[in-house]
Amino acid sequence: MPYVERRAGKIVGVYANRQPGYADELLADNDAEVAAYYAELNVVRSAALNLEEVYLALRDKLQGKPGADQKLDELAARFAGKPSPPEDPQ
C-alpha cells in the first residue's frame, strides 16, 4: 500500500514509506488514482525512451554512420503511425 504525495489534489508521487509532511496519505495498491498515476508515468517513460532513440539515430546520421537514414525513416513512420518503409536491398 503506497503513500501518496499530492499537489492541487492530484497525485504527483508514490512512495513505499511515509514521507512526513508531504506523503502521509496511504492508499490501496489497486486504488484508481494510484493506477492512473502509474499509467501516466509509463507514458512519460515511453516518451523519454522514444526521445533517446531519436537522439541516437540523429547522432549516428551526423557521424555519417551507415543505416542512419533508414533508422530515421523508420522512427518517423512509427511516430506517424505508418508502416515502416521497406528495407533498401543493397
pLDDT tens-place string over residues 60-83: 999 999 999 998 988 888 878 766
| Pair (1, 42) in one structural domain | no
pTM (2 d.p.): 0.61
Place of cell 499537489: 7
Range of the domain at 64: 32-85
Nearest to 2 by CA among 11, 13, 19, 14: 14
Shared domain for 52 and 80, answered yes or no, is yes
Q: Given the C-alpha cell 537522439, which residue does it identify? A: 55
The 10s digit of each residue's pLDDT in 9-63 is: 999 999 999 999 999 999 999 999 999 999 999 888 888 888 898 999 999 999 9
Task: State how many domains the chain has.
Answer: 2
